[in-house]
Each structure stands twice: as structure tokens, then as C-alpha cells.
């Protein structure tokens, strides 16, 4: 792991998506070849929104009503809790 690299993240990428960067990982002491660097994406949601921004999000949510393709991670609260604990064991 040395220096900087660029990773282009496609639009609509969701949290948890893994990208492999070939040859950008740790160099093996035996072979001298660099391994792959695995990047896990974490999408952060904005905080401290003003009322206008909150209203825009409400309108977006209303416009997506019933379109499950637009919300691939849509699940119940318990599914989210289970996923949280599953991630801790990885």
C-alpha cells in the first residue's frame, strides 16, 4: 500500500459493494508481486438538513413509491439488525 490510486465509482453504487484493484495491494515478501486491494464502499447519508432539503427528500420518496428497483436494499427493520450483526462477524 503505497501512494494514491483513483477508483471510479459508478452511479447508483450501494453500500457494501466491493471493488478489486488488481496489483494495488500488499507486496508479497516471497514472490515480490503485489496482491489485489479490495475496496468496500460505504455510502453516507447527509445530516443536519434544512427544511427545504427534507421536503425534497420527501418528494423523492413519494415519486419512488412502489418501485422496488429504485430501492434495492429496501427491507424490514429486523433484516437491517440481522445484517448489522452479520457484518460484525466478517
Low-confidence spans in the chain with pLDDT less than 70: 1-2, 67-82, 84-85, 88-90
Nearest Cα neighbor of 17 from 36, 46, 43 is 43
Phi-psi region of 40 (alpha: psi -120 to 50; beta: other; left: phi over 0): beta
Q: How many CA atoms lie within 13 A of 57 on its CB side?
A: 9
- Residue 40's pLDDT is 93
Whether 34 contacts 18, CB under 8 Å: no
- Residue 71's pLDDT is 53
Phi-psi region of 6 (alpha: psi -120 to 50; beta: other; left: phi over 0): beta
- Residue 17's pLDDT is 92
- Residue 84's pLDDT is 65
Which residue in this structure is represented by grid cell 514472490?
Answer: 31
pTM score: 0.56
- Residue 58's pLDDT is 86
Amino acid at each position: 500500500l503505497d501512494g494514491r490510486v483513483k477508483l471510479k465509482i459508478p452511479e447508483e453504487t450501494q453500500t457494501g459493494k466491493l471493488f478489486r484493484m488488481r496489483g494495488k495491494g500488499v507486496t508479497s515478501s516471497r514472490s515480490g508481486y503485489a496482491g489485489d486491494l479490495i475496496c468496500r464502499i460505504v455510502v453516507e447519508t447527509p445530516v443536519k438538513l434544512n427544511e427545504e432539503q427534507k421536503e425534497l427528500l420527501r418528494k423523492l420518496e413519494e415519486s419512488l413509491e412502489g418501485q422496488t428497483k429504485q430501492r434495492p436494499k429496501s427491507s424490514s427493520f429486523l433484516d437491517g439488525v440481522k445484517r448489522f450483526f452479520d457484518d460484525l462477524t466478517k
